[in-house]
């Protein structure tokens, strides 16, 4: 096996694994019961999946300007993905959309810690 063949195999494995993680995150959007679990499934798996796909593409590109650009994209995803998920979860809590289950009520701030609404936004309807 030559070095080029090894790089092709490794990048193929990373591309397939990254695609699998992105697909499993999409399945989680449909399978999980409430907003917070869906958001968690999508954010974690998409960050990991996109990272694997980007590293697979970096292996294919070699050490060029394209690799540097892909590294910047990966760093941007690592910084903005978790921050965006945290901001969405915090705004959902402050708008009254609480996680399902009464065990979450003690962790909420006082202005949203309403015992009538501890079942989530779906219980209002």
**Domain-by-domain residue ranges, the chain?**
3-94, 101-125
Residues 6+ apart with CB under 8 A from 77: 47, 50, 51, 54
Q: What is the pLDDT along the chain (125 residues), one digit of tens a residue?
A: 898 999 999 999 999 999 999 999 999 889 988 888 888 888 888 899 999 999 999 999 988 999 999 999 999 999 998 899 899 989 988 888 777 765 555 555 555 555 445 455 554 44
- Here the tokens at position 107 are 């962790």
Give this prediction's pTM. Answer: 0.73
| DSSP structure string for 51-79 | HHHHHHHHHHH-SSHHHHHHHHHHHHHHH
């Amino acid at each position: 096996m030559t070095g080029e063949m090894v790089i092709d195999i490794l990048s193929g494995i990373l591309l397939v694994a990254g695609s699998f993680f992105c697909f499993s995150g999409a399945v989680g959007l449909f399978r999980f019961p409430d907003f917070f679990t869906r958001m968690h499934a999508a954010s974690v798996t998409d960050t990991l999946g996109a990272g694997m796909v980007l590293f697979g593409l970096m292996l294919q590109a070699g050490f060029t300007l394209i690799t540097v650009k892909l590294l910047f994209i990966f760093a941007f995803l690592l910084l903005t993905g978790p921050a965006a998920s945290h901001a969405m979860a915090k705004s959902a809590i402050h708008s009254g959309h609480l996680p399902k289950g009464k065990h979450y009520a003690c962790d909420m701030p006082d202005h949203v810690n309403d015992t009538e609404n501890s079942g989530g936004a779906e219980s209002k309807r």
